[in-house]
């Protein structure tokens, strides 16, 4: 019989990826809310999103066999609510929040892997005494601040001085309610410990600065078994916090990857997360030979889908769909056409600017044709303001992404340079 899988925020690109998965000959994928409604927006009215999703599901004349997604907030936090209501598999809301509520997550991590967790504290950005309270918690400059719930690298700042903290606080106060209010709605649906309940959605985290070589461990939990299946390196631009590219497979030493896998199994089992995919961001400080756990994300990384398909032969959305249907994921390794693959981010380092020129669709297609298998997504158009782009970090704007594979890393970097020579962006009204 045909299995019906509803995909929250499915777009054309991901619809095509899903059809290339293994074992989906008897699966029909249905969109549930549009990508524009849940991803390409800064307005997250979760009660209304849930209502509209439920109307679609209630009107469906057939079996509802799985409800899945691959997008961060708000989709990740909506899935447990929808899955529970319609009796399909997913992680519990409380186990998901133990990952996504950054304060609760750090507390849970510290219970089982204290040596891999930096000193941290929560603070209220609307409290004029917040900086002194952070100091009382034992944190000194430099430290890092971020919302207790965010998506991507949005509103994350390194703090080296009181002036930096004042700048970050101003940004928090101006923008944090866009996520804090809908996140509070989700928190109110969960059974929270009193100390976590007190740290509401508008709170932020301060943490000791950690660093080193950054990577992401992709994994899943199936019937209590934690399975890490791939490690992706996160390479930054020199001297800044913005990502330059994601590289798969990782170039970290095998022993370090094995240690990260063991840490991953320990923390995810302790959290009680089950029957869903996840990824965990880590740092390896080579000098101190220290592994730090940065954060846990309750979804596969959409940016890594093409990397796994190029190297392993199938997008790791395989994990999402198989788990949703109650299957142990059929995730291959090394069966793709390439040995290495990357997503490159073409960025500009302005505070703001207007796009005076962006490459046409035809120009993007010509650029992609320079290297077989390359895919390019341009995020801007002529006349658009960079500050209007969603999901950007605090230091730059990603105006395009380039996915490509090769037989070795050096060739990958050379190929990227050839492709980018064909893409011409121009900007006016630049705010340095």
Alpha-carbon span 303 to 306, nearest angstrom? 7
Q: Which two tokens stand for residue 57?
A: 């599901």
**Side-chain-facing half-sphere of 278: CA atoms under 13 Å:** 34
pLDDT, one tens digit per residue, over 288-304 is 999 999 999 999 999 99
Q: Which of 214, 231, 243 is nearest to 401 (CA)?
A: 243
Pairing of β 204-208 and β 120-123: antiparallel
* Closest listed residue to residue 368, CA positions, set 376, 378, 358: 376
- The rounded distance, in Å, linking the Cα atoms of 146 and 193 is 22
Note the CATH number of domain 119-208. Answer: 3.30.1490
Nearest to residue 26, comparing CAs of 252, 344, 327?
Answer: 327
Q: Which CATH number fits domain 340-431: 3.90.1170, 3.30.1330, 2.60.40, 3.40.50?
A: 3.90.1170
* Among the listed residues 329, 315, 303, 290, the one whose alpha carbon sits nearest the alpha carbon of residue 247: 303
Q: Where are the domains of the chain?
A: 3-91, 119-208, 340-431
Q: Is the pLDDT at 409 greater than 70, yes or no?
A: yes
Report pLDDT digits (tens) over 86-121.
999 999 999 999 999 999 999 999 999 999 999 999
Output the CA–CA distances (angstroms, integers) from residue 422 to 107, 197, 373, in the order listed.
Answer: 48, 52, 16
Q: What are phi and psi of 314, to 5 degrees?
A: -155, 145
Query: What would the pLDDT profile of 341-398 be if each residue is shown by its tens digit?
Result: 999 999 999 999 999 999 999 999 999 999 999 999 999 999 999 999 988 888 899 9
CATH number of 3-91: 3.40.50
Per-residue pLDDT of 5-22, as tens digits, reads 999 999 999 999 999 999
What pLDDT is attached to residue 321? 98
pLDDT at residue 152 is higher than 80: no
The pLDDT assigned to 280 comes to 98
pLDDT at 41 over 80: no
Global model pTM greater than 0.85: yes
């Amino acid at each position: 019989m045909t299995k019906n899988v509803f995909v929250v925020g499915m777009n054309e690109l991901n619809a095509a990826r899903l059809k290339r998965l293994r074992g989906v000959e008897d699966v029909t994928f249905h969109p549930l809310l549009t990508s524009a409604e849940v991803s390409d927006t800064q307005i997250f009215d979760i009660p209304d999103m849930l209502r509209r999703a439920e109307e679609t599901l209630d009107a469906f004349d057939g079996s509802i066999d799985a409800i899945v997604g691959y997008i961060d907030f708000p989709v990740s936090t909506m899935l447990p609510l929808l899955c529970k209501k319609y009796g399909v598999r997913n992680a519990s809301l409380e186990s998901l929040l133990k990952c996504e509520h950054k304060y609760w997550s750090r507390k849970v991590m510290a219970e089982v892997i204290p040596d891999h967790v930096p000193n941290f504290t929560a603070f209220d950005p609307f409290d004029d005494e917040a900086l002194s309270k952070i100091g009382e918690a034992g944190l000194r400059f430099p430290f890092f601040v971020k919302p207790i719930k965010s998506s991507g690298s949005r509103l994350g700042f390194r703090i080296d001085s009181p002036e930096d903290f004042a700048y970050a606080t101003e940004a928090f106060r101006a923008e944090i309610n866009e996520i804090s209010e809908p996140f509070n709605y989700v928190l109110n649906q969960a059974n929270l410990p009193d100390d976590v309940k007190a740290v509401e959605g508008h709170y932020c985290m301060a943490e000791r600065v950690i660093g080193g070589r950054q990577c992401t461990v992709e994994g899943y939990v199936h019937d209590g078994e934690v399975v890490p299946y791939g490690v992706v390196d996160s390479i930054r631009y020199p001297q800044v916090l913005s990502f330059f590219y994601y590289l798969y497979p990782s170039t970290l030493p095998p022993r370090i990857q094995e240690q990260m896998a063991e840490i991953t199994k320990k923390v995810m089992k302790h959290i009680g997360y089950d029957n869903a995919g996840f990824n965990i961001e880590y740092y390896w400080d080579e000098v101190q030979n220290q592994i730090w756990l940065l954060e846990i994300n309750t979804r596969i990384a959409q940016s890594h889908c093409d990397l796994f398909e190029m190297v392993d032969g199938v997008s790791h959305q395989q994990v999402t769909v198989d788990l949703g249907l109650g299957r142990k994921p059929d995730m291959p390794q090394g069966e793709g056409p390439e040995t290495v693959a990357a997503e490159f981010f073409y960025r500009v380092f302005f505070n703001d600017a207007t796009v005076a020129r962006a490459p046409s669709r035809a120009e993007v297609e010509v650029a992609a044709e320079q290297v077989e298998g390359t895919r390019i997504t341009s995020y801007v158009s002529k006349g658009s303001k960079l500050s209007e782009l969603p999901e950007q970090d605090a230091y730059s704007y990603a105006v395009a992404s380039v996915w490509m594979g090769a037989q070795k890393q050096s060739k990958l970097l050379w190929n990227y340079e050839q492709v980018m020579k064909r893409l011409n962006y121009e900007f006016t009204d630049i705010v340095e």
